[in-house]
Structure 1
Amino acid sequence: MARPTPSEREVRIDLAAAYRLAAQRGWDDTIYTHLSASVPGEPGHYLINPFGARFDEITASSLVKVDVAGRVADGSGASVNPTGFAIHGAVHSARADAACVIHLHTPWGVALSMLPDGLQATSQFAMRLHGRLGRHAYEGLALGAAEQARLVAHLGTLDGLILDNHGTLTVGRTVAEAWMLSYLLDRAAQAQLTAMAATGGRLRVVSDEIAELTRRQWVGDGSELDGDLEWPALLRGLDRSLPGYRD
C-alpha cells in the first residue's frame, strides 16, 4: 500500500524536530553539518538549515528552501553553507527515494570513519546496516562536480556512507527513517569502539550469514520503515523537553 504524500508543512515539522533531536544527543557540530529533506511536489527543491543557526534553534519556518545547486528558492535571502548543498544536492539529485539526507560529525561517527575495516557486525545495531553502508575516501573540504559523482557512485542504492576521516551520511524515505538510521549507526559505532578500547581491538564478529539474516528480519517486508513506531514517541518527548520546533 502506497504511503500518503506528506505536505511541505509536515516535512518542515519533522525536519526541524530531527535537528533538535540531533542536538539533544550531541550530534551537532556548532553550526556545521546538515539534515535536508525533499520538498513534496517540488522536484529539485529541498529544505536545509540556515547557515549560522544551531541545531537546537531550528524551527519549521526557519528552514530554507533551496534547489539542488544550492540557490535559495524561497525569496528569503537566507544564507546556506556551500559544502552543505554540495553533498546534499548531489545525493538528492541522484536518489529520488532519498526524501531525507543526514550528514553528521559525531565523535563516534568520526572515530568510526578512521577505522580501516569500518563498521563490523559486532552489535544488533550494526546488523541493521549490514551490507548497506558504502565508503567514500577523504578528498578535502571542497566537493567539486567530480567528487560529487564519486560520492553518489559510492552511495549507489545503499542506506548510507562512511565518509573516511570525516563522518557519516544516511538517507531515508522519510525524515524519521533517515534519523533512525543515523541513530543506529551512531550507537553501533559507540558499541564497537568501546569494545575495541576494552579488549585491545579484539571483537566477537557475527558471521555474514547471521548478520544478513538479522538485517532481513529487521526490515521485514518493507511495509514498516525504521522510525514509523519510534518517531511519534520521540516527538512527544521533544514537545516536553524542547518545544517550539513546530513554529
Structure 2
Amino acid sequence: MSEPPAVPAPAPIPVEQLHFAMPPVHASPDEERAYRRQRLAGALRLFGEHGYEDGVSGHITVRDPELADCYWVNPFGAPFAGIAPQDLILVNGDGQVVQGRFHVNQAAFAVHAAVHRARPGAVAV
C-alpha cells in the first residue's frame, strides 16, 4: 500500500502585505457616540448570554467621545440580555446621571471612573 503524495505547505504571506483591522473613523462625535453605545449594548448582551452577569453589580462603561469625564453605562439592576442602546445612561465622573432615566451603581462605578481617569486613552472598562 503506497502513501498519497505529500501536499506542499502553502507559502506564508509577507508581513508587509498584511493589514491591521483598525477602529472605524467617524464623521462626527454624534456618529461615534451612537457607534460606541451600540457596541456597549451588544457587549452587555453577549456577557448576559454567556453568563457573565453578576446580579445588580455588573457593568461595562464606555467613554463618551465628546463630553469630558462622562461615560455610558448599563442601568443599575437591568438584566444584560435585554440592554439596547437607548437603555444606557450617561454618568459623569462623580457618578451622577446626566442623561437617562435609571440609577447607576455608585460604588461599582467609582472603580470604573478611577480607571478612566488614570487611563485617558482607554475607551472602555
Higher helix share: 1
Query: Does the aligned pair in 2 maintain the 1:46–1:68 contact within 8 Å?
Result: yes
Query: Does the aligned pair in 2 maintain the 1:16–1:60 contact within 8 Å?
Result: yes
1:52 shift after superposition: 1.5
SS of the aligned residue for 1:20 comes to helix
Equivalent residue number for residue 68 of structure 2: 43
1:30 shift after superposition: 1.9
User: What code does the residue aligned with 1:43 have?
Assistant: A
Equivalent residue number for residue 45 of structure 2: 20
SS of the aligned residue for 1:100 comes to coil
> What are the within-5 Å matches in structure 2 for residues 147-226 of structure 1?
none
Query: Does the aligned pair in 2 maintain the 1:31–1:55 contact within 8 Å?
Result: no
TM-score, normalised to structure 1's length? Answer: 0.38
- Return the alpha-carbon distance in structure 2 between the equivalents of residues 31 and 78 of structure 1: 13
Query: Does the aligned pair in 2 maintain the 1:50–1:64 contact within 8 Å?
Result: yes
SS of the aligned residue for 1:93 comes to helix
TM-score, normalised to structure 2's length? Answer: 0.73
SS of the aligned residue for 1:22 comes to helix
1:73 shift after superposition: 1.0
Post-superposition CA distance 1:96-115 (Å, at most 9, x none) = 111000xxxxxxxxxxxxxx
Query: Does the aligned pair in 2 maintain the 1:50–1:80 contact within 8 Å?
Result: yes
**1:82 pairs with 2:106:** yes
Number of matched pairs: 100
Query: Does the aligned pair in 1 maintain the 2:75–2:102 contact within 8 Å?
Result: yes
**Gapped runs of 5+ residues in structure 2?**
1-21
Whichever of the two has the greater Rg, that structure is: 2
Q: Which runs of 4+ in 1 moved over 3 A?
A: none
